[in-house]
A and B are shown apart, each in its own frame.
Chain A
Amino acid sequence: MSLNVTAASVFVALFGLVTLLGFVAARWRKADLNLLHEWGLGGRRFGTVVTWFLLGGDLYTAYTFIAVPALVYGAGAMGFFAVPYTILIYPILYLIFPRLWKIAHERGHVTAADYVRERFDSRFLALAVALTGIVATMPYIALQLVGMEVVIGALGFPAGGLTGHLPLIIAFIVLAAFTYTSGLRAPALIAVVKDMLIFVTIFAAIVIIPAKLGGYGAIFASVPQEKLTLTPPSGDSLGSYSAYITLALGSALALFLYPHSMTGILSASSGKVIRRNAAALSAYSFVLGLIALLGYMAIAAGVGNNPLYAAGFAQHGANFAVPALFLDSFSSWFVGVAFAAIAIGALVPAAIMSIACANLFTRNLYKEFWKPDCTEAEETRMAKIVSLVVKIGAVVFILAIPQAYAIQLQLLGGIWIIQLLPPILLGLFTRGFNAHALLLGWAAGTAIGTYMAATRGFVSSIYPLEILGVTLPGYAALYSVLVNLLVAVALSPVLDRLARRGAGSATR
Chain B
Amino acid sequence: MTGKQMKRSLARYWPRFLLVIPFLLVAFVPFYNRVEPTLGDVPFFYWFQLAAILIGAVVVLIVYLLEMWVTRTTSRAHADLDSSGTPGDIL
Binding site for B on A (CB under 8 A): 47-50, 77, 80, 83-84, 86-88, 90-91, 94-95, 102, 105, 215-217, 220, 228-230, 232, 240-241, 244-245, 248, 269-273, 275-276, 278-280, 282-283, 285-286, 289-290, 293
Contact = CB atoms under 8 A, between A and B. Distances in A.
Nearest to A292: B46
A90 B60 contact: yes
Interface residues on B, range: 35 or more
Interface in B26-47: 26-27, 29-30, 33-35, 40-43, 45-46
B85 to A, nearest CB: 5
B46 A80 contact: yes
Contact of A80 (B30, B49, B56): B49
Interface in B49-74: 49-50, 52-54, 56-61, 63-64, 67
A179 B86 CA distance: 28
B26 A84 contact: yes
B58 to A, nearest CB: 8
Given A215-B41, A271-B84, A87 B89 contact: no
A188 B64 CA distance: 25
Nearest to B40: A216
Nearest to A230: B33
18 contacts: A48-B91, A83-B50, A87-B56, A88-B23, A95-B16, A228-B43, A228-B45, A229-B34, A230-B33, A240-B29, A241-B33, A245-B27, A269-B84, A270-B84, A270-B86, A270-B89, A273-B85, A286-B53
Contacts of A272: 81-82, 84-85, 89
Given A86-B53, A91-B19, A230-B33, A248 B40 contact: no
B35 A83 contact: no
B57 A279 contact: yes
Nearest to B63: A94
B29 A245 contact: yes
Interface string B77-91: 000111011101111
Contact of A241 (B29, B46, B63, B84): B29
A47 B91 CA distance: 4
Nearest to B59: A91
Nearest to B67: A275
B64 to A, nearest CB: 5
B60 A88 contact: no
A290 B42 CA distance: 12
B80 A102 contact: yes
Nearest to A281: B57
Given A217-B40, A279-B60, 4 more contacts: A217-B41, A229-B34, A282-B60, A286-B54
Contacts of B30: 232, 241
